[in-house]
Amino acid sequence: MMSFSLWDIVRNLLVGGALTLLLSLAAFVLGGATGLAVLLARIGRRRAPRALARMYIELFQGTPLLLQLFTLFFGLSLFGLDVPAWLAAGLGLTLFTSAFLAEIWRGCVEAVPRGQWEASACLALTYREQMRHVILPQAMRLAVAPTVGFAVQVVKSTAVTSIIGFTELTKTGSMIANATYQPFLVYSLVALGYFVLCYPLSHYAKSLERRLHAAR
Amino acid sequence: MSSKCFFRTLALVGAVALGSLAPVAKADVLDNIVKSGTIKVAVPQDFPPFGTVGSDMKPSGYDIDVANLIGKELGSKVELVPVSSGNRVPFLTTGKVDLVISSMGKNAEREKVIDFSIAYAPFFNGVFGPDDIKVAKVEELAGKTISVTRGSVEDLELSRIAPSDAVIKRFEDNNATITAYLSGQTQLIATGNVVAASVNERSKLRRLSTKFLVKNSPCYVGLAKGETALQARVNEIIAKARKNGALNEISQRWLHAQLPADL
Amino acid sequence: MPSCRQTFDPRAALVRPACAAGRRARFVVMAYQFDFTFVPDYAGMLAQGVVYTLGLTVVGGTLGILIGIGGALSRTWDTRPFGELFRYYVELFRNTPFLVQLFLIFFGLPSLGIKLAGWQAAILAMVLNLGAYSTEIIRAGLQATPRGQIEAADSLALTRWQIFLHVMLRPALRKVWPALSSQVVITMLGSSVCSQIAAEELTFVANFIQSRNFRAFETYFLTTALYFALALLVRQAMHLVGRYLIVRRPSP
């Protein structure tokens, strides 16, 4: 019952890896949607949402993900909400991702030359029209590479959720390391798992960046 | 990031934290268990023989058997929630689980925040290490490094009695505590005697032989404060299991020993 | 427990009145009672945790950036075999989580006969991690050096090293310093997972306090605020260091 064959280790790690992938995808998609909302508030014309968005970004970029997760996991329960580990992990990563993506995308919007704003204003476009037809399309082109690059960070960040007990790749790894007492083997396999998930992404991000620079 | 912004953000967070407080529904936990037909029990997954995982990643062990026993008596489905020593009390106080059956000892600090059942398992904790390190009593821990799980009875006890130049390395969970010792990161380990025996059974890396025992600290089921109905029911179930031999059977299976009569 | 509580009143309807005397920060909101009275007892430990975390950051940051400079140099000039080695090193460390690196170093390396204490493993992981990131960041800065600058320096008969130091490195660092600062802050915040290998930094202290007073929410909330302040501090410090070392220093 207690003996783990190499296949047992790999098989269980694959299950954990699938959860890591799922969590990353959820965090990236939901975080992207939230991040877009935060971005629009952050670069909008109204002061109050702009200040709020700025605080939101500062808060999630200025504190450790681990403590955000702890606070969510144990904090929300105090208010009568039962938050299981997977939900706390998903929610925490979504908030974290949205703050970083909003800030990355803001940089891209600001990188659109001022002349574009002025020219589109001359065409009597409203703020919304300027955004929709002139600024965002150009910003999006700039944003693709760093966004894919940040996806790598999201995948890696999911490792932290193991500490609140979400059994993704790292947690599965430490459970097996304890059952087999072969930490070097197990953690090497875990690292390999992350590498397999992350390397193609960061490679892709790099080639996108190169193409973008070549095009300009 | 300006400091003005920092304070504004801090104020905002404070306001949100306080403003969003909804009243916690404080119903009778036993009622809820009976109504929903499930009971959530915090169990260890890194503490053989009380709780560990097999190659199917399912927890099994003494604590899990006791959880299932209590669930059967209550007529509810048991939902096992793996926890570490460090966070099992918060799991209970924040209502994430109904019971903690996680080889937990009783002490005054804990009794301030949670309630306990009667004892369900024997547990002697002590200091263990390889044969070539000579330590026979607590004073001789001076200058030695000892791994221990943060917040466990061993941790609290050793922190109190160990000489000031003993280096106590506190790890988040038993996984890390045991691995740290086995990989040679610490010279000694403080844990339960049956845990040491179980680790010896499963690993040839570094033997754990008994240096000295620290405390007799039987395991209790932890409950949220004030849940008297549930407490009475759990006590009743454990008392019955002690009498009819069900608990002894569990002890035989996992500890390879009779349940002590004076538990 | 003192019998007198001071109530904080964010929502009058929800808050039970309690006696007003006493200066302790304790307030009651319905069922859950916030209790920050543990803070004075653990202030010393928290301070130690802050110092430990800062220490990790300073050592990790300094050595990491030095490795980054070396790495960027070998990658840019493609010095064999270092250029190639640094490429593998950067890819390896940028594509695996810090926590897993930490576990491998602390729990894994002993089976190869390399034993590191918690703090040594933590520092090593911080340095290697920051080294990998700063290699990439600084390399991007170096690549942006206009060719004409180097040719001009060449024609002034500057040596290869002088060109590297004054014409390439300094402007590159100036350009990428904000990115490097962000990376140092991110790594500092990431160092909270070092608590998992018993390195006694700030999160370790938080977990320790939490395991003694069982006030999980208050402890983590307070620690989060401390990290926030630390992030602010480190960012400011990086700004000052940058100004002193890169911008203001007179050229020889």
Domain ranges of chain B: 29-123+218-255, 124-216
C window 103-132, beta carbon within 8 A of B: 106-108, 110-111, 115, 117-118
Q: Which domain holds residue C14?
A: 1-37
pLDDT of residue B12: 54
- Smallest Cβ–Cβ distance between A78 and the set C97, C217, C231 belongs to C217
H/E segment holding residue B115: strand B114-121
H/E segment holding residue B221: strand B219-224
Query: Rounded to whole angstroms, how far apart are CA atoms C26 and C6?
Result: 6
* CB-CB neighbors (< 8 A) of B203 in chain A: 181
pLDDT at B238 over 90: yes
Nearest residue to A151 via CA among A194, A187, A110, A107? A194
pLDDT of residue A138: 93
What residue spans of B107-227 are helical by DSSP H?
108-113, 153-161, 174-182, 193-202
Report how many Cβ contacts below 8 Å link chain B to chain C.
97
C109 and A CB contact within 8 Å: yes
- Smallest Cβ–Cβ distance between A178 and the set B5, B20, B175 belongs to B175
Closest approach of C33 to chain A, Cα-based (Å): 10
pLDDT of residue A43: 93
Taking each continuous run of H as one helix and of E as one strand, the counts in chain C are 9, 2
| Cβ contact C207–B1 (<8 Å) | no
pLDDT in tens, A175-214: 888 788 888 999 999 999 999 999 999 999 999 988 887 7
For the residues A36-62, what does the mean pLDDT come to? 95
pLDDT of residue B32: 87
If asked whether residues C165 and C227 sit together in one domain, one would say yes
B102 and A CB contact within 8 Å: no
pLDDT at B165 over 90: yes
pLDDT of residue C15: 38
| Cβ contact B24–A79 (<8 Å) | yes
Closest approach of C240 to chain B, Cα-based (Å): 14
| Cβ contact B20–A172 (<8 Å) | no
Query: Rounded to whole angstroms, how far apart are CA atoms A172 and A176?
Result: 6
pLDDT of residue A90: 96
pLDDT of residue C132: 97
pLDDT in tens, C66-123: 999 999 999 988 888 888 999 999 999 999 999 999 999 999 898 888 888 899 999 9
Contacts of B22 (CB under 8 A, 6+ apart): A79, A80, A81, C30
Report how many Cβ contacts below 8 Å link chain A to chain B.
89
| Cβ contact C216–B180 (<8 Å) | no
CA angle A36, C134, A186 (to 5 degrees): 85
pLDDT band for C237, please (50, 70, 90 cuts): very high
Query: Rounded to whole angstroms, how far apart are CA atoms A183 and B84?
Result: 19
Contacts of C81 (CB under 8 A, 6+ apart): none
pLDDT at C29 over 60: no
For the residues C31-56, what does the mean pLDDT come to? 89
pLDDT at B2 over 60: no
Query: Rounded to whole angstroms, how far apart are CA atoms B3 and B23?
Result: 34
For the residues B159-186, what does the mean pLDDT come to? 90
For the residues B228-252, what does the mean pLDDT come to? 95
pLDDT of residue C120: 94
- Smallest Cβ–Cβ distance between A170 and the set C100, C111, C185 belongs to C100
Closest approach of A128 to chain B, Cα-based (Å): 28
- Smallest Cβ–Cβ distance between C30 and the set B17, B24, B172 belongs to B24
Report how many Cβ contacts below 8 Å link chain A to chain C.
116
For the residues A148-165, what does the mean pLDDT come to? 94
Domain assignments of chain A as residue spans, ordered by start? 6-215
If asked whether residues C119 and C14 sit together in one domain, one would say no
| Cβ contact C98–A71 (<8 Å) | no
C235 and B CB contact within 8 Å: yes
| Cβ contact A66–C203 (<8 Å) | yes
pLDDT band for B10, please (50, 70, 90 cuts): low
- Smallest Cβ–Cβ distance between B90 and the set C32, C216, C221 belongs to C216
* CB-CB neighbors (< 8 A) of A163 in chain C: 99, 193, 196
| Cβ contact B172–C212 (<8 Å) | no
Please tell me what DSSP assigns to residue C10. S
- In chain C, the number of structural domains is 2
pLDDT of residue B20: 43
Please give the mean pLDDT across all residues of chain C: 85
Mutate to test the interface with A, among B2, B94, B149 (most CBs of A within 10 A): B94
Query: Rounded to whole angstroms, how far apart are CA atoms A53 and B249?
Result: 60
In chain A, the residue whose alpha carbon lies closest to the alpha carbon of B25 is A80
* CB-CB neighbors (< 8 A) of C225 in chain B: 10, 13
If asked whether residues C23 and C134 sit together in one domain, one would say no
pLDDT in tens, C10-28: 333 333 334 333 344 444 4
pLDDT of residue B82: 87
Mutate to test the interface with B, among A178, A180, A184, A190 (most CBs of B within 10 A): A178
If asked whether residues C28 and C78 sit together in one domain, one would say no
pLDDT of residue C165: 87
- Smallest Cβ–Cβ distance between A67 and the set C94, C111, C227 belongs to C227
Give yes or no for a contact between C107 and C116, defined as CB atoms under 8 angstroms apart: no
pLDDT at B239 over 90: yes
The dihedral of CA C120, C121, C127, C131: what is its sign?
A: positive
Q: Which partners does chain C have (≥3 C-beta pairs < 8 Å)?
A: A, B
pLDDT of residue B7: 57
pLDDT of residue A179: 81
If asked whether residues C12 and C56 sit together in one domain, one would say no
Query: Rounded to whole angstroms, how far apart are CA atoms C25 and C252?
Result: 56
Taking each continuous run of H as one helix and of E as one strand, the counts in chain B are 10, 13
A181 and C CB contact within 8 Å: no
The dihedral of CA A69, A71, A73, A74: what is its sign?
A: positive
Closest approach of A134 to chain C, Cα-based (Å): 28
pLDDT of residue B222: 96
What would be the CATH architecture of the domain defined by B124-216? 3-Layer(aba) Sandwich (3.40)
Query: Rounded to whole angstroms, how far apart are CA atoms A183 and C110?
Result: 9
* CB-CB neighbors (< 8 A) of B182 in chain A: 181
Please give the mean pLDDT across all residues of chain B: 87
For the residues C196-203, what does the mean pLDDT come to? 92
| Cβ contact A1–B57 (<8 Å) | no
pLDDT at A139 over 50: yes
pLDDT band for C6, please (50, 70, 90 cuts): very low
| Cβ contact A183–B183 (<8 Å) | yes
Please give the mean pLDDT across all residues of chain A: 92
pLDDT at C32 over 70: no
Contacts of C171 (CB under 8 A, 6+ apart): C141, C145, C149
Closest approach of B249 to chain A, Cα-based (Å): 19
Contacts of C138 (CB under 8 A, 6+ apart): C65, C68, C69, C71, C72, C172, C173, C176, C180
Q: Which partners does chain B have (≥3 C-beta pairs < 8 Å)?
A: A, C
How many alpha carbons lie under 13 Å from residue C39 in its C-beta half-sphere? 14
Of residues B4 and C119, more confidence is placed in C119
pLDDT of residue B3: 55
| Cβ contact A80–B25 (<8 Å) | yes
If asked whether residues C51 and C33 sit together in one domain, one would say no
Least confident of A145-159, B3-17, B69-83: B3-17
Q: Which CATH superfamily is domain B29-123+218-255 in?
A: Periplasmic binding protein-like II (3.40.190.10)
ipTM over 0.85: yes
CATH topology of domain A6-215: MetI-like fold (1.10.3720)
Contacts of C214 (CB under 8 A, 6+ apart): B89, B90, B93, B109, B110, B112, B113, B114
pLDDT of residue B69: 96
Least confident of A68-77, B246-255, C45-54, C170-179: A68-77
pLDDT of residue B11: 57
In a domain, C81, yes or no: yes
Closest approach of C105 to chain A, Cα-based (Å): 9
pLDDT at A98 over 50: yes
For the residues B132-155, what does the mean pLDDT come to? 92
